[in-house]
A and B are shown apart, each in its own frame.
Chain A
Amino acid sequence: MAGVKIDGLEKKFGSLRVLKGIDLDIRDGEFVSFLGPSGCGKTTLLRSIAGLEEIDGGRVVLGGQPISKLPPAKRDIAMVFQNYALYPHMNVYKNLSFGLSLNGVPKAEIDERVQNAARILQITELLKRRPKQLSGGQRQRVAIGRAIVRDPKLFLLDEPLSNLDAGLRVTMRVELANLHKRLGVTMIYVTHDQVEAMTLSDRVVVLDQGKVAQFGTPLELFYAPRNLFVASFIGSPKMNFLDVSVKISGEKELTVSAEELSGEIKVALEAAAKDVAGPHTLGIRPDNIELVAQDEAHMSGQVLLVERLGTESQVHIKLENGQTFVAIARGTHPAATGDRVYLKFPAQHCHIFNGEGQAYPRELDAETRSLIDRQKSLHGAAQRGEEK
């Protein structure tokens, strides 16, 4: 087992810079997801760690040993591919043992490792079958089994659940979480599905155009996004944004206003804001917008569409400036298309971003703060448990 340290990793495809100086410090035994939209470089980053892509700068250190110059086989890693990459002409047993037998591992030990992996993944009955004769979930397990038999220091998983149907994906997600707990090995997981990233990970790396936009625990990303990209990428439906300007910059607070807003919004910050001139952006999540009576509201708009999901209603609202906001109201909220509604933005839920799109760290309420802190420490606790 070992942590992964990545320093200034650069990767170019021709003249295109795909990874622009990635720095990451992944702890031993941690489950880390690389999350981002397609083309953000997350798979390239994973393949660079695996050694399947040659890097153009920087280095990768695994458990204290620099591995960027080693061939993939010498890196002590295992990788699970998106399309499983099982050898179709070999049965499951051969698929699991193929690499080992060519590396001179004694037969008895191979058998032990294969049987052990099969037991962990509950595929013992399938060892004689060919991949074609397996369901998607079973193939996925075999692919993971091929990683387990290698007993690597680091697991790399490239969108391993994306080929499964929705129900199976949830099941496999839980199994992956359990597997990580059981093996205690460092895992890096690439996904574009934020639900997977949020539920599985100790920490998440959000990538934006080849750069790390934020590296933090799932709740940190959600409640304390560092920039506009993370704020808009994490959470569904997306955060709403409004151009504002700063009226007053207090010691640990910021008061903003905009033409469209009636009244001002005063947001509490962790520290005093610097350089508050110029355009700013206010962000608020759909579930934090309150639909209220006219006299309490910051803004009004016309309902474009109401999507009723049962437990909640997603109300799409056209503002007077032409922008569309989404608010989440209770499932039985009476709003209907064409209605005029009045929106309130509770200050404790507002995010403020400066002209460069960087967030001012806001003061979180005690409950949220303690949740985030707990998530941060959970990993450490699990770690100590493992070491006993």
Chain B
Amino acid sequence: MSGVQDRQYQRQKFVEKLTPYLFISPWILGFFFFTLGPLVFSFVMSFYDWPVVGEREFIGTQNYEVMLTQDPLFWDSLWVTIKFGLFFVPFNIILGLLLAVLLNQKVIGSGIFRTIFYLPSVISGVALVTIWAWIYSHEYGILNFLLGLAGIDGPNWLGDPSWALLAIVIASLWGLGGTMLILLTGLQSIPKELYEAAKISGVPGWARLIFITIPMLSPMLLFTFITSIIAAFQQLTIALLLTGGGPLESTYFFAMYIYDNAFKHFEMGYAAANSWVMFLIILALSMMVMKSSSAWVYYEGEMKKGGNKDA
């Protein structure tokens, strides 16, 4: 008797434990087949000479060696990407923060402005690029038209190697609505009494921003910092459609380099190795940022080690 009961009990327990996994199984399957699978697969690929058609051949670390020692395009595209990131990341965060602070003010129509600033993040990338292509156009572009009104002879934005990268940075920043939105929610979760207390203590507005807003916002700033770095390294659409990497490869991004190796030169193994290098770079940068974060990020829920909870 008790043996049967026991077995029934065990069975029931097993089912109870299994149920939650069944509920998330669609996601788990998706993760294995579409994320983890390709990830592992690409890692394996990166050790092969893997043309789209033809013989595949295991070549060890040769892809990596070639990339690092014999392929100047690797270094050039990496440098372009880094230059882009050096502009894009700080401006994305600083402008996003300033916009969020502005939109956090209680002014009439702030809801409308929030929508307007977020709009570019909703528009499809291709449409966005088309709009920017018109704006930047050397002869008919509205930007140079406006500059002309001010008496400035505008440069050939997309045709001049010294301006093209900047043009892409500006076009990318057009989509900082996402960053702004994250920081705006962060701002709204800061208790307003902190500012009132500061006001009464005679703390000027700039000091409230630096000493209260930014520290209270630091977890969000960390998040946007890391996602901006990742976004910078993955920059592809805008450059691909706006400049195609030119002029003179001045906007030839790392992601584009990978794209070309894979889909233009059909060197899948080499492209996979490229991707893994990009992954490692992003990983290393993210880890560095995370490591530094303990010095500048303040978490509301955090309890420092050795802290006395209650006394």
Residues of A whose CB lies within 8 Å of any CB of B are 50-52, 71-75, 77-79, 81-83, 85, 87-89, 98-100, 102-103, 126, 129-130, 132-135, 138, 146, 150
Q: Which of B126-134, B152-160, B197-205, B240-248 contacts the other chain?
A: B197-205
Residues of B within 8 Å of A, CB-based: how many?
28
B191 interface hit (Cβ, 8 Å): yes
A72 close to B199 (CB less than 8 A): yes
Query: Known: A87-B194, A87-B212. Is A98-B203 also a contact (CB below 8 A)?
Result: yes
Shortest Cβ distance from A175 into chain B, in angstroms?
Answer: 17
B193 A98 Cβ-Cβ under 8 A: no
* Residues of chain B lying within 8 A (CB to CB) of residue A100: 201
Say yes or no: A83 contacts B212, CB within 8 Å. no
Task: Let me know if B311 and A81 touch, CB within 8 A.
Answer: no
Contact between A77 and B212, CB atoms less than 8 A apart: no
Evaluate contact between B203 and A102: CB separation under 8 angstroms: yes
Task: Check if B307 sits within 8 Å of A129, measured CB to CB.
Answer: yes
Please determine whether A85 and B194 come into contact, CB atoms closer than 8 angstroms: yes
B193 x A81 contact (CB < 8 A):
yes
Q: 7 nearest interchain CB pairs?
A: A99-B201, A73-B202, A85-B193, A89-B298, A85-B197, A89-B215, A133-B307
Between A50, A87, A134, A135, the greatest number of chain B beta carbons within 10 A of the residue's beta carbon is seen for A87
B-chain residues with CB within 8 Å of residue A81 when the two chains form the complex: 193, 196-197
Our count of residue pairs bridging A and B at CB distance below 8 angstroms stands at 83
Given A132-B303, A133-B304, A133-B307, does the pair A99, B194 have CB atoms closer than 8 Å? no
Q: Tell me the complex Cα distance, A77–B196, Å.
A: 13
Chain B residue contacts of A88, Cβ below 8 A? 216, 298, 300
Alpha-carbon distance A184/B186, docked complex (angstroms): 41
Instruction: Give the Cβ gap from B203 to chain A, nearest Cβ, in Å.
Output: 5
Q: Which of B289-311 contact A (CB under 8 A)?
A: 298, 300, 302-304, 307-311
Cα distance A210–B95 in the bound complex, in angstroms: 44
Distance to closest chain A CB from B305 (angstroms): 11
List 8 interface pairs A-B (beta carbons < 8 Å), by A numbering.
A50-B196, A81-B196, A87-B211, A89-B298, A102-B204, A126-B311, A129-B308, A132-B300
Residues of A within 8 A of B303 (CB): 132-133
Inter-chain contact B193/A133, CB cutoff 8 Å: no
Q: Does B86 touch A at the CB level, under 8 Å?
A: no
Nearest CB in chain A: distance from B56 CB, A: 55
Q: Does B59 contact A (CB under 8 A)?
A: no
The residue that B199 contacts in the complex, of A52, A98, A134, A135, with Cβ under 8 A, is A52
